[in-house]
Structure 1
Amino acid sequence: MITPFVVATLTRRGLLTPGSPVRVAAQLNALRRWGFSLSGELRQAAARDPDRIAVIDEQRGALTFRTLLGNAERLARALRGTAGVGAGDRIGLLCRNHAGMVEAMIAGNLLGTDTVLVNTGLSPAQLEAVAEEQQLRVLIHDTEFAEKVVAVPATVERIDETRLLALAAGAPPGHLRPPERDGRTIVLTSGTTGTPKGARRRTPSGFGPLVSIIHRIPLHARDRIMIAAPLFHTWGYAALQVAFALRATVVLQRRFEPAGCADLVAQHRVRALFAVPVMLQRLLEAPPPDPNPLRIVAVSGSALPGGLATKFMDAYGEVLYNLYGSTEVSWASIATPANLRKAPQTAGHPPHGTHLAILDPDGQPVPRGQVGRIFVGNEMLFEGYTSGATKESHDGLIATGDLGHVNADALLFVVGREDDMIISGGENVFPSEVENLLAELPQVREVAVIGVPDPEYGQRLAAYLALHPGETLDADAVREYVRRYRARYSVPRDVVFLPYLPRNATGKIVTRNLPR
């Protein structure tokens, strides 16, 4: 249903501007026939702005919407004719951020396949498990992963990027019609505690999900958007969906590198950057682009540590937007620059069409200000895991797995994962509170705090710190700092200094790899 709110937001963001009647009719017809899937959004963009640049790729240069769609259609016909891929099959994509991955995603969507976005940081054993559990028919992968994909079962056809281009070039002629079955994009959970699970993402049924995002994050039609977040990650994939809907130009970099990212932002006059929080830390270690065209830096995927939000806006201006969500709920809340200036660790407010509840263990709402379990409802909740399992739900809202509270201004604060909270000497302790405190120390580059067994208190905290080059800090100083600002039971028993913290490909710290 198109409401006045939707119309007003689409108008404000430049999506309802007048255009050629023929092209507007073709644009609407593309959405009618193909829906609001990734391929439908690309088709409507190609119908309205065929010669506008869709993707700027490091190796292949600029591709227009017409070219990108043509490449994806040829690839779809090749996969159907050569590999026998069709509706209902599952294909995996093990790729970095480049045009070939985008074309493969769209090709799968055109055929009605379920496309599994594979984390590039998986070990060979994890990759083997994912291929078996997701019952992959084909695995499309970058050449650099040739040694890793050897672990994949022989029943899975492996296609590297060189062969992919050859297949598309030799595609049989023919026409593509909307598939009998809509394919699903399957995003893998982070896998920080073991084998990642596959979460089936819904296809938007209308403009609602787009409006929820662009009402709070002021992206406009035909913007230039750099997607630094991995495309296999929920946030990177969502950025691509939003970009196609806006008929925006997407700038891609295979591997995030701070100086290179800043150069691309300046070179292509990028207005918006989609990233994960650890990338902000890295960008602060390099000179900002000069001049700086960025007006929006939108992050998601993990919490903003310490005073990172303030530090980043001091360097880049009032441009930072932080979306809190998960693979399962898509989004729960969005913090604007004004929210982050007021409370740098807030997750903001739920966007339009999203419902948020803080519940106690019995499923009852807790008083404002009290910590409870976070539950979320919106029209993009996942459809369940591919294993058949799902998440706990209450009255149409599903659990994020996080604990949090809402303050007097209705701002959400996330205090940590439910399974991260420890009980030390009978007291509830949230490691993230100590993490944020230690992250504010000027010597600290990155920090992780976890619970470890303790014979006297049951559990205690252990802190792992990586310092900026040339800085020094000792364990007693760290403990004294925490003792000054937090309760006795929050003082870490162990303080370990490391050159860097282990992270996965999306920038999340892999706590199981921390030395115990």
Structure 2
Amino acid sequence: MISHLRERVTTALWLVRTLIRSGFLGSSRVDRYIRMGLNLRRHGGASPVSGIGLAAARDPDGIALIDEAGQLTWRELDARCDALAVGLRDLPGASVATVAILCRNHRGLIEALAATSRLGADAVLLNTGFAGPQLADVLAREQADVLISDDEFDAVVEPAAQRLPEMRRIHAWTEGESDRGATVDGLIGANSGTRPGRPARAGRIVLLTSGTTGTPKGARRGGSTDVASLAAMLDRIPWRAGESTVIAAPIFHAWGFGQVAIAATMTCTMIMRRRFDPVATLELVRDHAATGLAVVPVMLERITDLPDEVLDDHPMPTLRFATASGSRMRSDALVAFLDRYGDVVYNSYNATEAGLITTATPADLRVAPDTAGRPLIGTSVRILGDDDREVPVGEVGRIVVANNSGFDGYTSSDSKAFSDGHMVSGDIGRFDENGLLFVVGRDDEMIVSGGENVYPLEVEQVIGALDEVLEVAVTGVDDDRFGQRLVAHVVRAPRAQIGADDIQQQVRDQLAGFKVPRDVYFLDELPRNATGKILKRELDAGPSNQRKVS
């Protein structure tokens, strides 16, 4: 009992120290903390976007957001969210229970998220890379009452909207004068100074899974007042209250959305632009003296792939952390970023359902650039074999996770598998003797060739180590003799002349013979979705820009 009490006291002290060090707990006046509590109550309790109201109470005149339309204070952003909530509530037709949002990174997306939550409705974040049929399927499944979208997506929205005649449409980012009906700015202007009533509960956020193997599922995420989870993240990644962060990662994705939630909670200025451009991103960090940068790995790669003279002209002296997640990062790009900008990269393993699971610090990445890091405090990660028992250190198995992510089930009839209270992630990986996690790949990507299990990532890393290779993806295709055979899809580095024999020999020299790709395709680029993940199903279909060399 004494040891248990000692543990609780130690945890409480760590929690307070971490929150004070980050500035989350500070010297704000008592009346501001009271207003923060009242704001939570007025909005129906905690939600994933409660941070906006809290920041408005804590630092009303601080800069909340900077985008291509200008800047907003927390007071202004909070008031705009209230006004939009009233506008949504008063739309003609049935009451609003679900709002779908198809927007790039800008204020309208943030306002739509917060306004929907303040109504007690669910907000569904849609992938900006959706084709028309996929968009229509998701809108129908989620039973969207309202769709808020940017003008640029009209071509895919129009056919989808025809299948849902009762769905009301609102335009967010518009180019020039728009005569297409209701707009976010129009609803805000018409209801300026008003507030919605208190909902029975704050609305939830529905985040879509990546859908790399099929139609994405909708994962509900509710709010949480668990400050221990926030402290666990702050203990690993050096966010500081009141600073500025460039959010380049797509906000519709779980990782990008999470960075918005953290920034608002920490009263950090959110800096964003609608489309990612590597040079423009460097300029945003420099011009606004940002201390943080949130990206998906392919963005960091695009930055390091810039010519040296461009990088020399765009230093980032204020940058303290660049946080990435969403897919595997090229080791050469990671090391190049660290060497140029210092030990500032924090690479995280994140899941739509489970949230933040592990984080690799710069020290971890210097030792092992391909590691996903260590579990956060309060998060349990296990590696299980086929018998659902933990495997020894170093052995590969299924990754299962237990934490307080706020996952509230799928919107469809699908259910998430659990094992002894741990969520089955769908990924496979291993721990090393230092407690570092290495994600080997997806469970459904494993290739069985000649009765042997092959994890594509292992082969990809060997091929990717070649200087002449810029990118590579390995897939399996049906084979009459072996069941499946390995296929390497390779993007050559500029001016490289490497051939299929060289690639096959590289694998043969380092791995078992059954792991050598029998076919090699050379491509101009790998197909990716809007968050930078490689779409292996499109590679299996044989895109037209592939040239096969066997």
Name the residue aligned to 1:24: 33
Secondary structure in structure 2 of the residue aligned to 1:181: coil
Secondary structure in structure 1 of the residue aligned to 2:88: helix
In 2, Cα distance between equivalents of 1:350 and 1:159: 41
Cα deviation for residue 474 of structure 1 reads: 0.8
Name the residue aligned to 2:286: 266
Name the residue aligned to 2:20: 11
In 2, Cα distance between equivalents of 1:24 and 1:462: 58
Cα deviation for residue 303 of structure 1 reads: 1.7
The 5 A counterparts of 1:51-450 are 51-58=61-68, 60-83=69-92, 86=95, 89-152=97-160, 153-161=164-172, 162=174, 163-171=183-191, 174-286=194-306, 287-288=310-311, 289-380=314-405, 382-450=407-475
Of 452-461 and 474-483, deviating more is 452-461
Q: TM-score, normalised by structure 1?
A: 0.96
1:486 matched to 2:511? The reply is: yes
Contact 2:285 2:316 in 1 (8 A): no
Distance 1:392 1:481, change over 3 A: same
Contact 2:83 2:195 in 1 (8 A): no
Q: TM-score, normalised by structure 2?
A: 0.90
In 2, Cα distance between equivalents of 1:86 and 1:56: 32
Cα deviation for residue 127 of structure 1 reads: 0.3
Describe the superposition over 1:339-394 as per-residue Cα deviations: whole angstroms up to 9, x where unpaired.
11111111111001101111112211111111111000101152211013221101
Describe the superposition over 1:59-89 as per-residue Cα deviations: whole angstroms up to 9, x where unpaired.
x2111000001111111111111245756x1
In 2, Cα distance between equivalents of 1:477 and 1:381: 48
In 2, Cα distance between equivalents of 1:72 and 1:86: 18
1:47 matched to 2:57? The reply is: yes
Gaps of 5+ in 2: 1-7, 175-182, 543-550
The AA in structure 1 aligned to 2:368 is: A
In 2, Cα distance between equivalents of 1:257 and 1:348: 28
Distance 1:360 1:16, change over 3 A: same
Cα deviation for residue 211 of structure 1 reads: 1.3
The AA in structure 2 aligned to 1:166 is: G
Contact 1:77 1:172 in 2 (8 A): no
The AA in structure 1 aligned to 2:412 is: S
Describe the superposition over 1:193-252 as per-residue Cα deviations: whole angstroms up to 9, x where unpaired.
221111111312331221121111011101211111100000011000100110000100
In 2, Cα distance between equivalents of 1:259 and 1:84: 45
Cα deviation for residue 291 of structure 1 reads: 4.3
Contact 1:77 1:173 in 2 (8 A): no
- Identical positions, percent: 43
Aligned residues: 514
Contact 1:200 1:383 in 2 (8 A): yes
Contact 1:376 1:399 in 2 (8 A): yes
The AA in structure 2 aligned to 1:91 is: V
In 1, Cα distance between equivalents of 2:321 and 2:92: 42
Contact 1:354 1:376 in 2 (8 A): yes
Contact 1:39 1:110 in 2 (8 A): no
In 1, Cα distance between equivalents of 2:469 and 2:339: 18
